[in-house]
């Protein structure tokens, strides 16, 4: 399960397919070294995104892929 406290690097290491979901949400810096050290909440703040919406989107994508219950 993805949480707002997880580092972007951690999320993408575990679930690289979520890079496209993050880009679709408006977070186009997923490959940036500095972004990998931010947690999801910080990254959403920088991009003016609602972190709860992004967390929901990421978890829904994992659920659809059968990667979480």
User: What local confidence, expressed as pLDDT, does residue 33 receive?
Assistant: 81
Domain ranges, ordered by start, for the chain: 8-64
Instruction: Report the distance separating Cα 16 and Cα 10, nearest Å.
Output: 10
Higher pLDDT, 32 or 38: 38
Q: Are 4 and 40 in contact (CB under 8 A)?
A: yes
* Tens digits of residue pLDDT in 45-58: 999 999 999 999 99
Instruction: Report the distance separating Cα 52 and Cα 28, nearest Å.
Output: 18
What integer is the mean pLDDT of 10-26? 94
- Nearest Cα to Cα of residue 27 among 11, 45, 1: 45
């Amino acid at each position: 399960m993805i949480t707002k406290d997880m580092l972007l690097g951690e999320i993408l290491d575990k679930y690289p397919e979520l890079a496209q979901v993050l880009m679709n949400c408006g977070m186009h810096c997923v490959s940036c070294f500095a972004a990998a050290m931010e947690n999801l909440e910080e990254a959403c703040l920088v991009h003016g995104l609602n972190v709860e919406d992004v967390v929901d989107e990421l978890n829904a994508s994992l659920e659809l892929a059968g990667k979480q219950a």
